[in-house]
Structure 1
Amino acid sequence: MSLSDDVTEFQISVPEAELVDLRERLARTRWPEAETAGDWAQGAPLAYVREVARYWAEEYDWRAAEARLAAYPHFRTEIDGLGFHFVHARSPHPDALPLVLTHGWPGSVVEFLDALGPLTDPTAHGGDAADAFHVVCPSLPGYGFSDKPAASGWNVERVGAAWVALMDRLGYARFGAQGGDWGAMVTVAVTRAGGDRVAGIHLNMPLVVPDSETFADLTPSEQGILKDLGYHREQGTGYSKIQSTRPQTLGYGLADSPVGQLAWILEKFREWTDCDGHPENALTRDRMLDNITLYWLTGTAASSARLYWESFRSPDFGVVDAPAGCSVFPREIARASRRWAEKRFTDLRYWNEPDRGGHFAAFEQPELFVEEVRRFFRLVR
């Protein structure tokens, strides 16, 4: 790729002193007492957090994570007054479709590392060149190596417009978009800002309001969706209440304590993955720590949480008329049925419910994720 003056190469290289500081802080942790209810009922249990923290300090290798990240080209550019980091993995196949992938919280570009190779170079991974993508994977504002906004106003709509500007800057006149979690909302915002330039969108967490007109005739699957949604609202939304109302107060503890940051995210890997009760059944300890360490080293506990404050109170549930595809994984935190989704996505061309996987689809099940993305975009290339 030929770089314009507006795009600069970026190399991830964390000073060794920051890794030493991390290990020293872990060694000085002031631990709470153990939980009084069994297992994960009151949050991440002491014994498991202590074990992962010990591993983080004594065995985990951030330099290996840097090497995995460095396998793909990284860049930075300024859009609308803010500096953004992004991975730009170009395909060797000239007819590849440009695709912008957007992560959510508590995710990062790390989620997509195992999917980038098959997406950009399918023939090297047993696939067809016709499924190739040029992948652009930005870090959200206040996340990873993107800048932290110094003033309010960076909601998902503004991020979606920034992504369209980014794709324009990279010379992509027509492109697809994909996302889950906040990435799903940003992907919808991309269609609002990009119009006909957006070939189609694929979502692995389609945000849909259950259709009350179906409540008298719910399918067993829809009954299960509503039951799980009720449980999530009652037991699983404490983090979002805090992040959408008091992200700054939360940030003091998480920015100062690596174990605080560890437990805050580790719990979500257990709650939101298809892990049968233990997060390491879905993600290896090293992969979870790759993501958690990125949050720690970039000091983004508060700045990432502010996206909730910016966007949580007025989410966009409006009609989307762009060509859309949805993959609803069984352990997603907020699932939808196809007939509910069709009320919002009026040009729904693809729907599938894979038999395994959870909220972090590309992270947990990269092969399944890649195949879902390929299947939808075959319909709109």
Structure 2
Amino acid sequence: MPKFPPSSAPLFRRALQCLAIAASATFVVGAHAANKDVARWTGPNGATVADPAAGTDAIRPFRIEVSEKDLQEMRRRIRATRWPDKETVPDTSQGVQQAKLQELMSYWGTSYDWRKTEARLNALPQFVTTIDGVDIQFIHVRSKNPNAMPLILTHGWPGSPLEFLKTIGPLTDPVAHGGRAEDAFDVVIPAIPGYGFSGRPDKLGWGPDRVARAWDTLMHRLGYDHYVSQGGDHGSVISDALGVLNPKGLRGIHVNMPPTIPTELVSGIFGGTPAPANLTADERKAYDTLSHFFARNAAYGALMVTRPQTIGYGLCDSPVELAAFMYEKIAEWTDSAGNPERVLSKDEILDDITLYWLTDTGASSSRFYWENNNNNFSAAHQKTAQITVPVAVTVFPGEIYRAPKTWTQKAYPTLYYFNEVSKGGHFAAWEQPDLFADELRAAFRPLR
């Protein structure tokens, strides 16, 4: 998700060098809950089908029905892959290792079963509504607790709404998962426009601010007069944008990937200069981690922030290219020492990759980077000082960098909750759903 700031020439030079080398509740929508009015996914080149009799504000039930033809074509393309030569190093410094990827692709093309995930999603209350001319597809699970707090959860890249599926139970029914009834949430999980089953914008302007406004519209359209927002990766950027917007009813935000780089350190981190001597141990570690990240591991971001259409041709044409592009970051960003299967099953990883493939969103998801050209870990770029709602932050040890408390306090003037946990990475909800749920209960408890 992090990207190269356009003002950083050294950063772009390094980038170019790198490139050169079951539902627990239901939501009834009047007459439009009838099966004949259910919007269905019709494949990579299809779209959700709205009830023509419904107004543009209608919330329509949604069902996924991927054609068998599309699944067979995906497998055919995997089998037809022309593989490059094996890497010439014994590690991942040149990218995803061929043997690892070939093993995963062999499973994807023969044994992997998308229908299990499709059935799991279709067992949840799924809906679609049109906001600002774009279809927003989302999962909406109400708690049995009538006093549950409404919560909107936002994914990032290379994630998706699938990241949050294992948290739905702990969040909506905390008693069944070791929590207290009064900590229950109603959960709304939308797909960012250009991702998953949401519409793919065909006009400019769908950056974080516009998505934040759409999320506020969505929550009020669902009948909520107050809510809280949570996100990591793009989700943190969108939650921050909501905090700056400060719409009526937003009680607070929680992020697990906070942008906290102080302004005076931005040029040094992006320029690769040594850390200043006056930093604390935690600050120096964060500085060095970020400097290494932008120097050696952020070429993907340079591609998407500058040429999303160019990279999109490969991501949308080759399932193996898509898988390699995504798997590399899943491996790097999970708290798994580079072996994501330690914390996520092979099927979970392929569920996420398959979702991108079937919805043909390799290019459209990349364009979110292009739209959000100022997005990085800089507090100034994300305008965190302008946030006036309460802010909560959880730092997971396997995150791209561990935000120091000192930087976080400076970045967020309204910070009221900060906690560092012992396990979990960039995909916190996906990797550690119970711990993630515990953090949200603790963080949002004062705002109820």
User: Is 1:245 the counterpart of 2:306 in the alignment?
Assistant: yes
Letter in 2 for 1:325: A
User: Is 1:282 the counterpart of 2:343 in the alignment?
Assistant: yes
The Cα of 1:211 is off from its aligned counterpart by: 6.2
Q: For 1:159-170, list aligned pairs within 5 A.
A: 159-170=211-222
The Cα of 1:341 is off from its aligned counterpart by: 1.2
Bigger shift: 147-156 or 318-327? 318-327
1:336 counterpart (394, 397, 403): 403
Question: What TM-score comes out, normalization by structure 1 length?
Answer: 0.97
User: Is 1:148 the counterpart of 2:200 in the alignment?
Assistant: yes
Letter in 1 for 2:65: S
Q: 1:330-353, CA deviations, whole angstroms, 9 ceiling, x for partnerless residues?
A: 111133211211122112111111
Is 1:202–1:325's contact at 8 Å kept on the other side of the alignment? Answer: yes
User: Is 1:12 the counterpart of 2:64 in the alignment?
Assistant: yes
The DSSP-based 3-state class of the residue aligned with 2:188 is: strand
The DSSP-based 3-state class of the residue aligned with 1:10 is: strand
Question: Residue in 2 aligned with 1:374?
Answer: 441
CA distance in 2, matches of 1:188, 1:8: 28
The DSSP-based 3-state class of the residue aligned with 1:379 is: helix
CA distance in 2, matches of 1:280, 1:95: 38
1:316 counterpart (382, 387, 408): 382
Q: 1:281-334, CA deviations, whole angstroms, 9 ceiling, x for partnerless residues?
A: 121111000100000000000000000000023642341221111001111113
List alignment gaps of at least 5 residues for structure 1: none
1:220 counterpart (278, 281, 286): 281
Tell me the percent identity: 48
Q: For 1:179-328, list aligned pairs within 5 A.
A: 179-210=231-262, 212=264, 216-313=277-374, 315-319=381-385, 320-328=387-395
CA distance in 1, matches of 2:28, 2:342: 42
CA distance in 1, matches of 2:247, 2:314: 42
Letter in 2 for 1:3: V
Letter in 1 for 2:29: L
Is 2:171–2:185's contact at 8 Å kept on the other side of the alignment? Answer: yes
The DSSP-based 3-state class of the residue aligned with 2:28 is: coil
CA distance in 1, matches of 2:292, 2:277: 21
Letter in 2 for 1:248: Q
The Cα of 1:20 is off from its aligned counterpart by: 0.7
Letter in 1 for 2:424: G
Larger Rg: 2
Is 2:127–2:138's contact at 8 Å kept on the other side of the alignment? Answer: yes
The DSSP-based 3-state class of the residue aligned with 1:303 is: helix
List alignment gaps of at least 5 residues for structure 2: 1-26, 31-53, 266-274, 376-380
The DSSP-based 3-state class of the residue aligned with 2:302 is: helix
Q: For 1:87-126, list aligned pairs within 5 A.
A: 87-126=139-178
For the aligned residue pairs, the C-alpha RMSD in angstroms reads 1.5
Question: What TM-score comes out, normalization by structure 2 length?
Answer: 0.83
CA distance in 1, matches of 2:261, 2:281: 18
Is 2:374–2:382's contact at 8 Å kept on the other side of the alignment? Answer: no
The DSSP-based 3-state class of the residue aligned with 1:153 is: coil
Letter in 1 for 2:219: M
Is 2:260–2:407's contact at 8 Å kept on the other side of the alignment? Answer: yes
Letter in 2 for 1:321: T
Structure 1 residues 318 and 349, CA gap change in structure 2 (3 angstroms):
closer
CA distance in 2, matches of 1:233, 1:193: 29
The Cα of 1:194 is off from its aligned counterpart by: 4.0
The Cα of 1:216 is off from its aligned counterpart by: 5.0
1:52 counterpart (104, 110, 115): 104
Is 2:143–2:184's contact at 8 Å kept on the other side of the alignment? Answer: yes
